[in-house]
Amino acid sequence: MNDIAQQLKSTDQPILISFPICPFVQRSVVLLNVKKQGFQRINIDLSNKPQWYLNMVPTGKVPALVINSSKQDVIFESAIINEFLDESFGTPLLPADPISRAKQRAWINFSESLIMLQFQLLSTDDADKYETLSDQFTKEILKLPSNENAPFFSGDELSLMDAAIAPVFTRLKWLPSVTLKINELAQTDSSASALLNWINNLIAHEAVMRSVSPDFDDLFEAFFKMSNSYAINSAAA
């Protein structure tokens, strides 16, 4: 605790409290990378959350962002953190127009349901349930409003929505049944083709690639193997 307390007080940079494979944490790291904003990171064990963290964050969820470490101002919930980062550092990415801004916020909210459904899909150890969830997840991801005229959500540069959806796209490598379906549809459906391009462009973006640690794949697979994940076991077969 003393070491953590000292770290929280020893920097002027934002401090992101995280769990290494958490998709909600990744959203904020992507945006920090886009903003080229330096930050420090403290990982905690979500299965044994330290009391100092529970004292700071009433939900106990990650991420949390500590700003002004001497006062320990704390912001939690990734979508709120990202709007704060967008307003505080660099040129704002969220549109100035109220309608466009509201629409993007709505899709950011939709991306959270995709994250949770994807987690269920990756966690199940049952083949039949996997197939049911895979079909459901595929239908949901195909609802995303792909931009046929731009590489990312709203243009040539990353937006808050791109940061929000990046964890979902990053984890598709462990869900080949989903990507196969999108690929098949992309042969005849322009929306599916645009979605596929968006996926490929986003996961190849430097800010997204640097949003996970070099050992992310190993940590990710080890985590889901603990629940005997059908998806992870099938990918390794």
Q: How many CB atoms lie within 10 A of CB 196?
A: 17
- CB < 8 Å & 24+ apart, contacts of 186-193: 190/148, 191/142, 191/146, 191/148, 192/142, 192/146, 193/148
Q: Give the helix ranges, DSSP H, for 20-97.
A: 23-34, 51-56, 78-88
Determine the 3-state secondary structure of 75 from DSSP.
strand
Distances (CA, A) of 113 to 34, 110, 116, 168, 219: 24, 5, 5, 10, 23
104 contacts: CB under 8 Å, gap ≥ 6: 94, 95, 153, 154, 159, 160, 161
Q: Which of 191, 32, 165, 31 is nearest to 108 (CA)?
A: 165
Strands 40-43 and 15-18: parallel
The question of whether 22 is a catalytic residue gets the answer yes
Give the Cα separation of 72 and 69 in Å (integer).
4
Per annotation, catalytic residue among 22, 93, 144, 175: 22
Residue 187's Cβ-count burial label (10 Å; 0-12, 13-18, 19+) is: exposed
Q: Which residues are catalytically annotated?
A: 22
